[in-house]
Every structure is written in structure tokens, then in C-alpha cells.
């Protein structure tokens, strides 16, 4: 909970130190996607807030919710909804209407929840690194659509249990961007 409050404080404080035209550089991104590990698939919904730096770099905060299910039985797994939040950004490879980009994010999973749940019931934190590649198409001055694919390396209990660390391939995500 402390980390969540801290993230909001940083976001709020940033509005007072950004230049006067800063609000015109803020993007809101909404996305849905599908990810997989060895035995589990997950539907995810994301909300990202990004600040653009010189049309090539964007940085900001990420919030998402993941609902996993077992691919073999199609049953929703124990502790189904996992909240994920962190920081991330993108580097755009060009400035055309159709842009390619490279993305990266650092995410924290909510305590005690991972794709299959914490069987011991202890409160734990999971950390993930998530590089991505994507394409973004600008519809007009305010709206863009995008599609991306990425890889995620999850460190279970902050990496203290190496044998439980996991690799997840996020097959694809699609979404809409609104620029203020």
C-alpha cells in the first residue's frame, strides 16, 4: 500500500515541476492483452499515463489488472485478479503517423498474489521486468491506436525464491491513446 501511495505522490508532485505546456504532452493509454507462461494464460487490462519528451521518449506510470486461468482446464485460478503497477516508457523510432517503438517497464505485483497464488498464504511482493515492441498509428491530434508484444521476467518474492521465477510471453496487446 505504501508503494502505491508513493507512486501517486510522485505523479501529483510532477505536475508542479513540469513546464507550463506540460499537460499538452500527457498521454492516457488503455490496453487489453493476453499473456502466457508454461501452463497459465491471463487476460489483462492496462491503464498507463505517459509524459512525452521531444516526440521520441515517453515516461510514466502503469496500472493493470490480470485475470489468470489454467489453459488445460479453462478454470479461473485461485486469487484470480492480480493488480500490477509500476513505471515504464517508450522510445519511438520515427515521427511518422505510423510509429514503431521499443518499450520497457518495471512492475510490482500486489502482495501475496502471483499467477497461481501464494500457496503458503504469506504476504509477498513480486517484481517483473517487461521489454516490449510495438506499432502506433496516429488517427488525429488527440487519438492513436497501437498494438504491441512483449516478454516478461517475473521475480517471485522479489527474487528470493529463484526456482519460482518465471518467464511470460505477452502475445499481444491492443489499445487506444488519448493525448491531452
pTM exceeds cut of 0.85:
no
Count of other CB atoms within 10 angstroms of residue 28: 14
Per-residue pLDDT tens over the stretch 104-130: 988 887 654 444 444 555 556 677 888
In angstroms, the CA 67 to CA 40 distance is 10
In a domain, 175, yes or no: yes
Q: Is residue 101 part of a domain?
A: yes
* Residues 47-86: tens digit of each pLDDT: 888 888 877 888 888 888 777 666 555 555 555 566 778 8
- Domain span at residue 55 reads 2-13+23-179
Residue 153 domain flag: yes
Q: Do residues 24 and 50 make contact, with C-beta atoms less than 8 angstroms apart?
A: no
Task: Please tell me the distance from the alpha carbon of residue 137 to that of residue 48, in angstroms, as a whole number.
Answer: 17
Decide if 18 is inside a domain: no
Count CA atoms closer than 13 A to 51's CA, side-chain side: 15
User: Which grid coordinates belong to 104?
Assistant: 520497457
Domain count, the chain: 1
Helical (H) or strand (E) element with 17? helix 2-17
In a domain, 6, yes or no: yes
CATH number, domain with residue 79: 2.40.160.20
Amino acid at each position: 500500500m505504501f508503494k502505491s501511495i508513493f507512486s501517486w505522490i510522485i505523479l501529483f508532485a510532477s505536475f508542479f515541476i513540469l513546464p507550463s505546456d506540460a499537460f499538452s504532452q500527457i498521454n492516457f493509454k488503455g490496453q487489453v492483452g493476453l499473456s502466457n507462461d508454461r501452463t497459465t494464460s491471463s487476460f489483462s487490462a492496462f491503464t498507463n499515463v505517459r509524459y512525452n519528451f521531444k516526440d521520441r521518449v515517453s515516461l510514466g506510470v502503469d496500472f493493470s489488472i490480470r485475470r489468470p486461468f489454467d489453459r488445460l482446464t479453462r478454470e479461473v485460478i485461485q486469487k484470480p485478479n492480480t493488480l500490477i503497477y509500476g513505471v515504464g516508457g517508450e522510445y519511438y523510432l520515427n515521427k511518422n503517423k505510423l510509429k514503431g517503438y521499443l518499450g520497457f517497464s518495471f512492475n510490482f505485483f500486489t502482495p501475496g498474489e502471483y499467477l497461481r497464488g501464494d500457496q503458503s498464504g504469506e504476504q509477498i511482493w513480486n517484481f517483473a521486468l517487461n521489454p516490449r515492441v510495438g506499432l502506433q498509428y496516429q488517427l488525429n491530434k488527440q487519438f492513436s491506436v497501437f498494438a504491441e508484444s512483449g516478454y516478461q521476467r517475473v521475480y517471485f518474492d522479489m527474487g528470493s525464491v529463484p526456482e519460482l521465477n518465471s518467464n511470460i510471453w505477452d502475445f499481444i496487446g491492443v489499445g487506444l491513446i488519448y493525448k491531452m
